[in-house]
Structure formats: C-alpha cells, structure tokens
Amino acid sequence: MKQRTIYLINIAAMLGLLIVVAVTVFFPQPYEYQGSLIEPPADSYAFALTKEDGTTYRLQDQQGKVVLIFFGYANCPDVCPTTLSDFKKIQGQLADQADQVEFVFITIDPERDTPQDIENYVSAFDPSFVGLSGSVEELQSVWDGYFVYRAKVESGSEAGYLMDHTARVYVIDQQGNLRLTFPFGMEADAMAADIAQLVDQN
C-alpha cells in the first residue's frame, strides 16, 4: 500500500510538471516591457526636418521601422554622448534586426547646432544615425509635440552656456505610434530587449 501511494504521488508530480511545461509552451506569458509602455499607443508627432545633405527627413516615411528619438545638442558634455553610446550598443545587440530600427538625434540648441554640426556629431558614434537641426521656428513644434523641456544654463565655459533638457528616449513603433519611452540611465541591454520585441511584432 505504501509503495502504491509513493507511485501515485510520483505520477501526480510528473503530471503536474507536464501541465506546467505545456502551459508555458502553449500559453506563454506576455512580454513585460522594461521601459515606460504607452497603452493604448499614442499618435506620434509627425515632423519633417532637413538633413545636412538638404534632403527632408519625414517621420511618416519611416513606417515599417521602429524609430528611437532623442533630443540633445552637440556641446552636451554628458547625457547626449552617453545616450548615443547606448544607441550604438543597442544597434549591436539587435544584430540582424538593426536594419529595421532608426536612431534619430534632434537638436534642442539650433542657435549653435547647424545641420552639419549635428551630422558630424552623430556620425562620430555611427554613420547610420540621423542628425536633425533647423530653425527655432521649425523645431519648436517638434519640441512641443513631444513635450520636450529645454533651457539655457550659463556655465562660464568656452561654449558659453549649457542646455538643461529632457533626457528621455522616445520610441515610435512600425505603425507610427508613440509606444515607449526610456528614462536616462536605463541599461542598453534592457532597451534593446524592448526594441527587439517591437520589431518582432511586425
């Protein structure tokens, strides 16, 4: 009787394990984004800005790709180069998926940042990164569209002043919706995992 009880317990344990495996395989848990998920997805602000080569970069033309947008400036001493370095790490971790992702850097300091300045700045991290500048009038609607904060901070440095600004990464999905934001300091591998998930949804 005792052996029969042990046998039944073992059978029950094996069945329980099989059920757990089956549930995991056939009913996987939904992916939990590590960035700030915007649900339901919000309409992104569709901008058009001129690149250094004179061509116009339109966000709406990028549908079918995931687009990462960061607002910064070429004289930024810390946050901007750190974020662009993270972009480079993300690009590397995405591997074969990287061609389905755009990395965009938009200036918040058009008084100093010419299109050539921004292009040179982002190209130092990767030639495929898109750098965009323009006049204050052209850029103001974009800043407003993404609720970007920007303010001059006198520094006494050779640059004359620094810029205090929003340091979040905005993530646009393949349908052109604002889907995620990443806070400054989020690990590159965590951001890459979220981006890979969005790419896979296409």
The pLDDT of residue 23 is 47
Position with higher pLDDT, 176 vs 155: 176
DSSP letters for the chain = -HHHHHHHHHHHHHHHHHHHHHHHHHSPPPP--SSEEEEEEEEPP--EEE-TTSPEEEGGGGTTSEEEEEEE-TT-SSHHHHHHHHHHHHHHHHGGGGGGEEEEEEES-TTT--HHHHHHHHHTT-TTSEEE---HHHHHHHHHHTT--EEEEE--STTSEEEEE--PEEEE-TTSEEEEEE-TT--HHHHHHHHHHHHHT-
Q: CATH says 36-200 is which class?
A: alpha beta
pLDDT tens readout for residues 162-171: 999 999 999 9
pTM, rounded to two decimals: 0.84
**Ranges of each domain in the chain:** 1-30, 36-200
pLDDT tens readout for residues 2-48: 666 666 566 766 765 666 455 445 656 788 899 999 999 999 999 99
The pLDDT of residue 27 is 58
